[in-house]
Amino acid sequence: MQPIDKPWEQLRRAESYIEKMTTASSVEEYEEYWKEFLHNLERSWNKLTSHLKRSPKYQGWVERGKTEKLRRQDQLLSYLVNARGAEEHSVAEISKQQSGGIRINPVFGNSLKINKVGVINGQIYIDSDQPIKIDFIPDKVVLMSVENRGRTYDVPSEHIGNKLIKNDPVEIAKLGVAFYKTYFENAEVHFVK
C-alpha cells in the first residue's frame, strides 16, 4: 500500500492551528483557528480512512475497530468529532468568548483590607496597609456543550480514563492530535511498512 502522505499532511495542518491559537491576536481569531483545527483534524481522519479502506486487511484490523469505538465513546474524541459536526451542520455556537478582568489579592495571607480606591490623573490607585498582588486576566475562549444529530456532547472532562483539568481548547486539541498521531503511526506500521 502507498504511504499515507495526504492524511499526515492534513493532520499536520490541524496541528498548525494549535500554534496559531496560542499566538492569536484576538479572541475572534482564536475562535476561528479552533474551528479550522476541528475541520482539519476530522478531514485527516476521513482521508486516512478512505486511504486504508483500499486494503483488504482494513476490515479485520483490530486497531481500526478499537479506535472507531473510542471516537464514539471517549469524551474528548467524541467531543472533537461532534463539535466539528455541529460547526459544519448547524448554526449553534460551539465556543464562547469569556471576558477577562482584574484580580486583586494580598501578597501574603488570605484576606485583604483596602482603605481606598481612586483615580488620579487617569491612573487607578489602591491604598492598602499591606502589599497587594494584581493579576490581569485576559479574555479567553471556552468550549460549550454541542448538539449534533439530536445528541448533546458536553465539554470533555476526561480522555482515555485521565481527568482533564480545565476547559482549554489548546490542551484539548493537543491531546486529540497526540491520539491521532499514534493511530496514524500504527496504520503505517500495519499497512505500509
Predicted local confidence at residue 96, as pLDDT = 87
Going by pLDDT thresholds of 50, 70 and 90, the confidence category of residue 89 is confident
How far apart (Å, rounded) are the C-alpha atoms in residues 29 and 68?
32
Mean pLDDT of the chain: 93
pLDDT at 41 > cutoff 80: yes
Question: Looking at 79-88, 136-145, 176-185, which range is the least confident one?
Answer: 136-145
Q: Are 56 and 23 in contact (CB under 8 A)?
A: no
Q: Are 149 and 85 in contact (CB under 8 A)?
A: yes
pLDDT at 1 > cutoff 80: no
Stretch 68-78: mean pLDDT: 97
Q: Using a pLDDT cut of 70, give the percent of the chain over it.
A: 99
pLDDT at 152 > cutoff 80: yes
At which residue does the C-alpha cell 469569556 appear?
98
User: C-alpha grid cell for residue 15?
Assistant: 496541528
101-106 and 132-137 strand pairing = antiparallel
95-98 and 140-143 strand pairing = antiparallel
Predicted local confidence at residue 97, as pLDDT = 86
How far apart (Å, rounded) are the C-alpha atoms in residues 103 and 101?
7
Going by pLDDT thresholds of 50, 70 and 90, the confidence category of residue 166 is confident
